[in-house]
Structure 1
Amino acid sequence: MTARETDFLVIGSGIAGLTTALSLAQHGHVIIITKSNQEACNSYHAQGGIAAAIGEEDSPELHLEDTLRTGVGHADGDSVEMLVRMGPEIISLLADWGTPFDRDGSKFALAKEGSHSKARILHVTGDATGKGIIDSLLLEIRKHPSISFVSHTMVVDLIIQDGECAGVYTVDKETDITQYYARHGVVLATGGCGQIYQHTTNDLVSTGDGFAMAYRAGAELTDMEFVQFHPTALHIDQNPMFLISEAVRGEGAVLVTEDHTPFMHKYSEWGDLAPRDVVSRAIFQETMEGHHVYLDATKLTVDFANRFPTIFTACMEVGIDPRVDLIPVTPAAHFMMGGVKTDLSGQTTIPRLFACGEVARTGVHGANRLGSNSLLEGAVFARKVALTIASLSKRTVKPLQEIEVSVRLCNNKQKEEQWKQQIQQVMWKYAGISRTKLGMEKGLQELKSISDQIPSSYLESQNMLQVAQIVLQAALWREESRGGHYRSDYPKTEEIWASRQYIVEENQQHESHSIASIHS
C-alpha cells in the first residue's frame, strides 16, 4: 500500500473540481482524482448554458428573484445573493481561461430559459456549453505545473484523523490501494447521483459516491428528497438519456400531445417556460391520461441545425428531423438539489472537508433548481472553497500503516449491472416524479432485499444503494409537495414545511429548523 501527500486534494473533474484546482494552484500542489476519464462528468454534457446577470436590462436582483421564486420558499437567501453577485465575475474568469462563449457582435449572446424573467443564459457553440467550459479548463490545468491528475481511480472512503478530514484512500483498475493525504484539506466535487434512477440524463459515473462517502464519514446531508427531473429528455431507450435543452423551448418550441395539441397553458401561466418541476409533472400527468408527449420545434424562427447543432445531430441519428418532425420527450432524473451540507465557504460539518458543485447542498437551489444555475453554482462555490481552504494552516500528515478493505471495481460487470438496474427500477417506480407513503415504504423494503445480495466489495452498487435509501427516507419524512418533491398523498405546499430540513448522518437522522424560510 502506497501513500502520497499533497497540499490540496480535489475529488472530481467537473466544473466545480476543475475551478477549485485552478484557483488553488497558486497556493500549492493540487491532486485531482477522478474515477473515469477526465471528461466524464455531468458538466461536460451541459447543453443550455450558464446563467449570469450581465445583460443591459438584467440585474443580480432580478436573477435573485427568479432563483428564490423557483426554489419554492426553500432556498437560502445569503447563498443565492452570493451566487448572483459573483455571476458576472465568474463569466469573466471563465472567458479569461479560454471558454469561447458565443457572441452577438461584441457582446455575449444571451438566451432565455424556463422561469427566467430575462435572457441571461450564455452558451458555447449553441448547445455545447459544458463541453466548451470543461475543454477550456482542462487545457489550462494541463499547462499548470502545480496540478496533477489521477484518472481511472475511485475514491473508496475519506480518511478522518483527530476529527478532521486528512485525505482519502483509493482503488485503481489493478485494485491497488493508495492513500492520499492533503495538508490543507479535501474538496468533494463528485457530482450527482442520477444513476440511481432508471431514466436519467446523468453520466454513467454519477452513482452518488460523494454523498455516500461523506455520509459514512459522519458529515451531514440534507434536502435529499429534492430531485429535479428534467422534463425533456429524448424519449428513446438509452442510458444516459439524451437531453433536449430547455433553451429549445426558450427559442419558441412547444410541448404538445400526439395530435399536436399544446397543453402547458393548463398547468402554469408561464406556459412552456414554467419551472422544471411544473413541466415534468405536467408531462407525467398527460402521460397518465394516455397521451404521448412531444416537443414541437418545427416553427422556430432560428435555424435549428445552426442554433442547436448537438441536439440536431443526435435527433437525426435516430431518424428525427427537428425541423419537420415532432421530438418525443419524457422527464428524466437530472439534478440533486440536496447534498452534503455546507456553509457559504463550502465547509461541511467535518473540519477540512469541503464540498462544491452538485454534491453540495449550498442552499442556492432550494426545492427546485433554476435552469443553468448549476454550472454557475459549481464555479462560484469553487472559488469560495479555494479562498477558504488556502487560508488554513497545514496539518501534519500521519499515513496509516494499514487499511483493511476488500474492494473490486466491477469485477463481475454483468452482475453489478443487474444490481444497479434493480436499484434504478425501484427508485423510478417509488421515488420518481410522483410519490406516496405506501410506495416509498415498499421501495425501502425492496432496497433492503437488494442490499442483502450485494457484497460490500462492489463499491458503486453500495454507494447507489446507500444514496437511494437516503432519498427515500427523506422523501418519506416530508409530508407535503414542494418543488422537485411531489407526493400525491400530500399534494399541497404547506408553509409550515418551508423552513424544515431532514438532516441525515450515519446512525442518526433528525429535523432541523435552523434554515429560515425565504420568500421572493
Structure 2
Amino acid sequence: MTQKLNRRMLGSAAMKSSKMSYCDLLIIGGGLAGMQVALHAAAGLQVMLVDGGVVGESGASPQAKGGVAVAVGDGDAPRFHAADTEVAGAGFCDAGIVKLVCDAGPARLAELLDVGVPFDRAEGDLLMLNHEAAHRHRRVVRAGGDRSGLLICQTLAGRLRAAAHIELRQGCKVVALINEADEVVGAWLEHSSGRREAVLAKATVLATGGLGQLYARSSNPAEAMGSGLTLAIRAGAQLADLEFVQFHPTGLWEGAQAAGRPVALLSEAIRGEGALLVNERGHRFMCAIHPDAELAPRDIVSRGIWAEQAKGERVYLDATALGEAFARRFPSAFEDCRRAGFDPARQRLPITPVAHYHMGGVKVDADGRTSVSGLWACGEVASTGLHGANRLASNSLLEALVFGERVARAASEWAENREAPRSSAADLEGGQRPAPVDAAQAARALHEVRELMWSTVGVVRNAADLEQTLERFDALSAEFPADSAIHDTIGLASLMALAALRRCESRGGHYRSDFPQPSERWQMHTIFDSSGIRSEALIESR
C-alpha cells in the first residue's frame, strides 16, 4: 500500500555556488560516527569532513553521559548483549544486524583503548563495567564517570586534526546534496560568512545526528533538527520508521526551558547505582508497572512518569542514598544539578521525559548504503535495524563506532573505483537562492511545531490528536516558501506525525493510547520516499 504525500511536505533546494572543491570522500557531520568514518577511510583518499560547529565539541556525541555497551565482562558474551538489545527493541530489530554490532563491539573498544581513551578502571586496572537499564549484565564502559562521549570525541578529534589527508570544514552547514544522473556526487555548503561552496565527491556520507529539537522538551543539541533526513529524501533516498522516537525518562526539569536549549540528562547509570523514581508523596510508582521498576526499558519508564504527570503529580529522581558519592561518580550530572540550584546528595531532583533518540532514519544496509548510489549514512541519522522500536541504553555510541568503520570501508572501496564527478561550474550555477522568510514568523511557527510534537507525537499518541496536528502542519507549511528551512522542518514533522498515525499499534517508543497493544499486522517497516509512504515487511540482515 502506497500513500501519496502532500506536496507541501517536501520542497526543493538549489542555489548558486561561489566556489567549487573536490575530494574523494565527503563526510557531513563531525560527531562520533563521522569521525569514525574519516579515521577509518582508506589510506590515499582525500577526505573532507564538514561540521556546523567544532569537531569533537558540537553535536550529541560529546554530550553522551552513559557509555559504550560492550560484552567483555566475566559471564557476559555478545550473544547475551544481542538478546538484551532485541528485547528492548520490542520485536522490531534486525537480528543479523544486532549480532554483527554486538560481535564487533570488543574490537571497536580495543581500538579506543589503543588510542588512549581514558576509560574508568576498577581495582587491578581492569575496566570498570557499569549496570544500566534493561541490561542483564554489567557491560557499559564509561570514561570520566559520566563524561564518556566528551572524552571519546576529544581523543578522536585530536587524531583527526593530526591527519594530513583529512580536511576539516568547521562552522559550515550543508544546504543540499548534489545529484548527477541519480547519483549523489557531493553537497552544497554554506559558510558562516554566507559564502556558498560546491564540494564534489566520489562518495558522500551523512552523519548528521538526530531530530530531538523538533520537540519542546529534548536532550538534543540545538542543531538536532533532522537536517540529514531532509537532505536524504530530497536526493531520492528512502526513510524508514520515523514514528519510533525514544524518550529518555529522566531529564532534569527546571520548570521552564528556553527554546532550543537541551534539557540536562540524569543518566540511567544513576538509577543503576540505586537512585529511585518517586512522586510527590514519595511513592515508588514504577514498582507496580514493571518487575525491573526504575531499570525497566526507557519507553516503559517514560510512560510511567507521563502517567503520574497526567494525574497532576510531580516526579522526582531520589539519589540522596548515594550521598557525596554522586559528585564523584557522576560529575557532569552533578554540575548540571548545581547549576539548576539542586544538591543531589540532599534533595530530590525534579524530572521529565525528553525526546532523546530517533530509532528511525535514512534506510541503510549492513554497510550503511542508502537507496541512492554514492550516498551512505551512519549514526543516529541512519536506520540500521539495530535498535528496532526502542534503543537499548548505551548502544548508540557502539553503533556509531561499528557502523562508522563499516561505512568507511564500503565508501572507500566505492571511491577507489569511481572517476571524479563530471559536474561543471555551469551545472552548479543554474539554481536560485532560497526565498527569504520573516524571522519572527518562522520562530513562532517553530515554537508551535515543537509544542504540537511534544503534546501529540510524544510519549503518548492517539488518532484524533495526530489528525488535528497534521491539519495544522499543512496550514503552517503553506505560509512559507517550499525551499525555506522552516518549511523543511514542518515537512519532516508532518512525516513523523503521518507515520505515527498510520501505525495502529503500540510498540517500543511508539505508544498509541487508542491501540495500546502490539499487533502482528504491524510487523513491518514504514517507508517514505519521494513518491509517498508504504509498508515493507521486516527482513533480517539487510
Residue ranges of structure 2 left out of the alignment (5+ in a row): 1-17
- Choose the corresponding residue for 1:77, options 87, 91, 95: 95
Tell me which residue corresponds to 1:225: 243
Tell me which residue corresponds to 1:463: 488
1:182-209 CA-to-partner distances (Å, cap 9, x unmatched) read 12x1000000000110100000010100
Q: Distance in 2 between matches of 1:276 and 1:421?
A: 26
> Are 1:186 and 1:354, in contact at CA under 8 Å, matched by a contact in 2?
yes
After TM superposition, the score normalised by the length of structure 2 is 0.92
- Choose the corresponding residue for 1:451, options 474, 477, 481: 477
Residue ranges of structure 1 left out of the alignment (5+ in a row): none
- Choose the corresponding residue for 1:253, options 256, 265, 275: 275
Q: CA deviation at 1:418?
A: 2.5
- Choose the corresponding residue for 1:337, options 359, 379, 392: 359
Tell me which residue corresponds to 1:12: 29
Q: Distance in 2 between matches of 1:146 and 1:419?
A: 43
Label 1:186 to 1:169 Cα distance change in 2 as closer, same or farther (>3 A): same
1:259-307 CA-to-partner distances (Å, cap 9, x unmatched) read 2111111111111100000000000011112211000001127710100
Task: Verify: 1:405 aligned to 2:427, yes or no.
Answer: no
Label 1:4 to 1:411 Cα distance change in 2 as closer, same or farther (>3 A): farther
1:450-486 CA-to-partner distances (Å, cap 9, x unmatched) read 2122334542x23322221111111111000000000
Q: CA RMSD in A?
A: 1.7
> Are 1:221 and 1:503, in contact at CA under 8 Å, matched by a contact in 2?
yes
> Are 1:208 and 1:463, in contact at CA under 8 Å, matched by a contact in 2?
no
Tell me which residue corresponds to 1:369: 391
Tell me which residue corresponds to 2:520: 495
Tell me which residue corresponds to 2:539: 515
Which residue identity does 1:507 align to in structure 2? S
- Choose the corresponding residue for 1:174, options 165, 186, 193: 193
Q: Distance in 1 between matches of 2:324 and 2:293?
A: 20
Report matched runs for 1:126-137 at 5 Å: 126-137=145-156
- Choose the corresponding residue for 1:90, options 76, 99, 108: 108
Task: Verify: 1:3 aligned to 2:30, yes or no.
Answer: no
Task: Verify: 1:383 aligned to 2:405, yes or no.
Answer: yes
Label 1:25 to 1:415 Cα distance change in 2 as closer, same or farther (>3 A): farther
Q: Give 3-state SS (helix, strand or coil) of 1:454's partner.
A: coil
Q: Give 3-state SS (helix, strand or coil) of 1:369's partner.
A: coil
Q: Distance in 2 between matches of 1:168 and 1:279?
A: 41
Tell me which residue corresponds to 1:36: 53
Q: Distance in 2 between matches of 1:411 and 1:152?
A: 22
Q: Distance in 2 between matches of 1:214 and 1:114?
A: 33
- Choose the corresponding residue for 2:444, options 404, 408, 418: 418
Q: Give 3-state SS (helix, strand or coil) of 1:26's partner.
A: coil
Q: Distance in 1 between matches of 2:512 and 2:471?
A: 19
1:348-375 CA-to-partner distances (Å, cap 9, x unmatched) read 1001100000000000000000000001
Q: Distance in 1 between matches of 2:69 and 2:326?
A: 21
Task: Verify: 1:150 aligned to 2:169, yes or no.
Answer: yes
Report matched runs for 1:296-315 at 5 Å: 296-300=318-322, 303-315=325-337
Which residue identity does 2:234 align to in structure 1? R
Label 1:27 to 1:476 Cα distance change in 2 as closer, same or farther (>3 A): farther
Label 1:248 to 1:3 Cα distance change in 2 as closer, same or farther (>3 A): same
Q: CA deviation at 1:413?
A: 5.2
Q: CA deviation at 1:36?
A: 2.5
Q: CA deviation at 1:414?
A: 4.5
Q: CA deviation at 1:422?
A: 1.7
Report matched runs for 1:229-240 at 5 Å: 229-236=247-254, 237-238=256-257, 239-240=261-262
Tell me which residue corresponds to 2:204: 186
Task: Verify: 1:68 aligned to 2:86, yes or no.
Answer: yes
Which residue identity does 2:191 align to in structure 1? D
Label 1:44 to 1:413 Cα distance change in 2 as closer, same or farther (>3 A): farther
Q: Distance in 1 between matches of 2:233 and 2:372?
A: 11
Tell me which residue corresponds to 2:131: 112
Q: CA deviation at 1:65?
A: 0.3
Label 1:77 to 1:27 Cα distance change in 2 as closer, same or farther (>3 A): farther
Q: Distance in 2 between matches of 1:101 and 1:462?
A: 43
Q: Distance in 1 between matches of 2:204 and 2:541?
A: 31
Q: Distance in 1 between matches of 2:368 and 2:423?
A: 26
Label 1:66 to 1:132 Cα distance change in 2 as closer, same or farther (>3 A): same
Q: CA deviation at 1:412?
A: 6.2
Percent identity over the alignment?
38
Q: Distance in 1 between matches of 2:127 and 2:252?
A: 29
Q: CA deviation at 1:35?
A: 1.9
Label 1:145 to 1:517 Cα distance change in 2 as closer, same or farther (>3 A): closer
Task: Verify: 1:262 aligned to 2:288, yes or no.
Answer: no
Q: CA deviation at 1:151?
A: 1.4
Q: Distance in 2 between matches of 1:42 and 1:415?
A: 28
Q: CA deviation at 1:44?
A: 0.9
Q: Distance in 1 between matches of 2:263 and 2:139?
A: 26
How many residue pairs are counted as aligned between the two chains? 514
Q: Distance in 2 between matches of 1:416 and 1:87?
A: 43
Q: CA deviation at 1:29?
A: 1.1
Q: Distance in 2 between matches of 1:403 and 1:148?
A: 28
Q: Distance in 2 between matches of 1:343 and 1:446?
A: 35
Q: Distance in 2 between matches of 1:405 and 1:25?
A: 36
Q: CA deviation at 1:94?
A: 1.6
